Amino acid sequence: MSGADGRKSIFITGAASGIGRETALLFAKRGWFVGGYDVNADGLQALEREIGADGGRFETLDVTDPQAFAQAMGGFAEATGGTLDCLFNNAGIAGGGLLDEQPWEDVLRVVGVNFLAVMIGARAATPLLAATPGSLCLTTSSSSAIFGTAGISVYSATKHAVRGLTEALSIELKRFGVRAADLLPGLIDTPLMSDAMRAMAPPDGMWRLVAPREVAETAWRAYHEDKLHWYVPEELRDFHREVVDRPEAVREERTALLAMMAAGE
């Protein structure tokens, strides 16, 4: 097979690793044509080997480059005959630090990959999504979009922006019959997470370490059900309620946590 040949299709950014990679594998296994895009060429090659060349299209792409994104989308459209069932705007970088200490170049990089590129992707994909009945514009936000996370303030702000954008798109894109939804993952065991964060994760509860496969299963559900926000794990919804009900209490708890981390406890 040279193209999608009638299969449903998904365009995944950040497909070479972690959540994007697991989602690519899961959708491919369930018969979808997968577009895997990333700056990591080696990771993409490994993914292509696993899925097989007939299972999709695998190309390097820097998602912050609007022209390159449009070109990648054009190539994908050729393979699918002009349709796209799911855009998964997922690529992201960590980039941490206190805002007043973080180098400005890092701030711009995080905003560029985590937020500007999500808008670039959504704009590039809209005509294809609009041409495909039942399609979904899916984004990866974060649990750090529930309450601003100190120590990764810029990252956290970009994820709030992604959540807000997704909510707005879920209304704007209705005129084309396109849905929008976001994933709000907690602590997911991928290369994005620092060893220090991994070591701090409790064995259970909403801040436990979750396998990326669980997020991929949630992406699958997001396409097949009609819901705006997907918490992974689901208990994070309780945290969201708490933030709405008593933000000052959450602020105080988080202040104590940051002080503990700074003291290396």
- Residues with a catalytic annotation lie at 155
Mapped onto helix, strand or coil, the DSSP state of residue 232 is strand
Q: Does 166 bind ligand NAD (CB under 6 A)?
A: no
Smallest distance, ligand NAD to C-beta of residue 177, A: 26
Q: Which stretch binds ligand NAD (CB under 6 A): 49-57, 59-67, 80-88, 248-256?
A: 59-67
Q: Give the largest CA-CA distance in the chain.
A: 58
- H-helix or E-strand containing 4? none
C-alpha 177: how far from chain center: 22
Rounded CA separation 110/93 (Å) = 6
Indicate the angle between helix axes 41-51 and 18-29, nearest 10 degrees: 20
- Position 188 contacts ligand NAD (CB under 6 A): yes
Distance CA(235)–CA(38), nearest Å, equals: 31
Closer by beta carbon to ligand NAD, 63 or else 169: 63
Instruction: Considering the complex, state which of residue 7 and residue 160 has its C-beta at the smaller distance from ligand NAD.
Output: 160
User: Does residue number 233 form part of the binding site for ligand NAD (CB under 6 A)?
Assistant: no
How far, CA to CA in Å, does 104 sit from each of 20, 113, 196, 208, 261? 28, 14, 24, 32, 24
How far apart are alpha carbons 255 and 261 in whole angstroms?
A: 10
Question: Residue 91, interface with ligand NAD (CB under 6 A)?
Answer: yes
Tokens of 180: 């929008």
Single out the segment in contact with ligand NAD by CB under 6 A; choices: 58-66, 123-131, 244-252, 257-265: 58-66
* Residue range at the interface with ligand NAD (CB under 6 A); choices 47-55, 60-68, 80-88, 199-207: 60-68
Q: Does 113 bind ligand NAD (CB under 6 A)?
A: yes
CB 84, min distance to ligand NAD, A:
18
Report if residue 153 touches ligand NAD, rule: CB under 6 A.
no
Residue 19 near ligand NAD by CB under 6 A = yes
Q: Tell which one of 75, 81, 177, 191 touches ligand NAD (CB under 6 A).
A: 191
Burial letters 211-236, b for 16+ CB under 10 A, else e:
ebeebbebbbebbeeeeebbbbbeeb
Q: Is 43 in the site for ligand NAD (CB under 6 A)?
A: yes
Q: Is 16 in the site for ligand NAD (CB under 6 A)?
A: yes
- Specify whether the CB–CB gap between 148 and 243 falls below 8 A: no
Nearer residue to ligand NAD within complex by CB, 39 or 79: 39
What single-letter DSSP state applies at residue 208? S
Minimum gap (Å) between residue 92 Cβ and ligand NAD: 2
